[in-house]
Amino acid sequence: MTTRYNYKPACRYCGKPGSKDCDTLYSDEPYNGNQIVVKEQKHEWADGRVDYTTSVWDGETYKLNAGSFCTNRCAIWWANDHAMQPEEAS
């Protein structure tokens, strides 16, 4: 469950900052739009075709991949730290 934010959030367990919420575009021309290009790869095929794979970001949206946590591992560790421990058997 990816959660999107209009500010840079931090993981509730480890404090790692959220990542940019990017979209991946596939085209036969270089990207020519108004979003920020984060990464662009040019693929040249043996038959002469040229394809582009471009990751773009709107400049303001960030995400955490597991709700309020960066990963499911952080969510599980946080839950284990905050779970009530059963009383030991006598």
Q: Per the domain annotation, does 76 fall within a domain?
A: no
Q: Distance between CA 34 and CA 51 in Å, rounded?
A: 20
pLDDT band for position 88 (50/70/90)?
Answer: low
Pairing of strands 36-44, 50-64: antiparallel
Q: Per the domain annotation, does 53 fall within a domain?
A: yes
The per-residue pLDDT for 27 is 96
Neighbours of 11 (CB within 10 A): 20
pLDDT digits (tens, 9 = 90+) for 9-43: 999 999 999 999 999 999 999 999 999 999 999 99
- Could you tell me the two tokens for 54? 């471009």
pTM score: 0.75
The per-residue pLDDT for 2 is 84
pLDDT digits (tens, 9 = 90+) for 72-84: 999 999 999 888 7
Q: Per the domain annotation, does 78 fall within a domain?
A: no
Q: Per the domain annotation, does 80 fall within a domain?
A: no
